[in-house]
Structure 1
């Protein structure tokens, strides 16, 4: 059975995806930021193996994962992300650095660390990007910059790893009913109505479609938008 390593499995899209992969019999490994989060995810998702590594500190991921990684990984799915809105005139360096670290540098480093085993399995890497990775709006500069960078990372990686049989997919969901989206609305000063947005289940289905595609094809970029 395939083994999937997922970031962001503690809530939202990542939690739904981890549960669906587990329920169909796949092995699931969740990367979480600390021991407290590890306990929460282990309780919420019995049967899912939990590893600890803080995406906010990409330079320490190699040490954190040195003795925890499974021998085989068939897919690496980057779901975790952080967002802090603000005008360019107002955003301090710390908020730029945090978003770039978690949303871009950590996925690059985690991918680098896992490429040897992904090449052996001829596996797949999925980047759950954002509509902000395609177009930036006022107030979204740092987050959009990190997601535009994630798109560039995926495009370059795809070209580099095709020779090894590793598939690379970018998913660009529109606004999705997750705790992150609720926080975004708080920052925007707007009322939050989950019924207006894509469900995490729909985005998880999109990711599963990319993972389950026969090996003679590859979904490179897929945009998903609310129908309402």
Structure 2
């Protein structure tokens, strides 16, 4: 039985992936932003264990993790959590930039750093659920796209650094997916939201599982998945 730690398991892609792994009987550890959220996750995913820390404050993650007991080994560390705030460059404040980069880039980097010994012990796999915005930046997507471009760079550097330790690293770039975040994005864009137009979170979870389930001798470095409609 493999041990997986997932961020962003409260909704969307992270929740779909946690459900699929739970159905397979995997050992689940779910990252929660606070104790209340941890209780919700434990209720929703019976048998799962939680770790608590605010990804919006990555400088405090070391302290938070130091007061908890993470698993001794991690086969799959999957970063699904993220935030999105759209707007023209001329309107985005430093606060928006800081919050976006903190949650989408600095927190995954710091959490990976803190848990890398456990990933190395398992010769495990780090998966960054990125975005199509990590490959191209459209108008009004500057802060989000910058954070996701940075996440791609983080993954590429980590892959080269950890290959000798047997650690695999994959970036997944989903297109538009029917999640609560996508609904919020549509509101920011001033567009009507029709979830039937987009991929399901389960579609993306299947893509992540494809990477995780590859035989030990193979590694998918980048996976792009798009709606077919």
The TM-score bracket by the shorter chain reads over 0.9
Give the aligned CA root-mean-square deviation in angstroms: 0.7
TM-score, normalized by length of structure 1? 0.99
TM-score, normalized by length of structure 2? 0.98
Matched with 2:143 is 142
CA distance in 2 between partners of 1:51 and 1:114 (Å): 12
Matched with 2:41 is 41
Note the 1:167-186 alignment, pairs <5 A: 167-186=168-187
1:141-199 CA-partner distances (Å, limit 9, x unpaired): 00000000000000000000001000000000000000000000011111100000010
CA distance in 1 between partners of 2:148 and 2:5 (Å): 20
Is 2:13 the counterpart of 1:10? Answer: no
Unaligned runs of 5+ in 1: none
Q: Tell me the secondary structure at the aligned position of residue 9 of structure 1.
A: coil
CA distance in 2 between partners of 1:188 and 1:39 (Å): 33
CA distance in 2 between partners of 1:23 and 1:107 (Å): 26
Unaligned runs of 5+ in 2: none
CA distance in 2 between partners of 1:227 and 1:112 (Å): 36
CA distance in 2 between partners of 1:213 and 1:29 (Å): 21
Note the 1:117-128 alignment, pairs <5 A: 117-128=118-129
Retained in 1: the 8 A contact 2:71–2:118? Answer: no
Matched with 1:203 is 204
Runs of at least 4 residues of structure 1 off by over 2 A? none
CA distance in 1 between partners of 2:65 and 2:74 (Å): 14
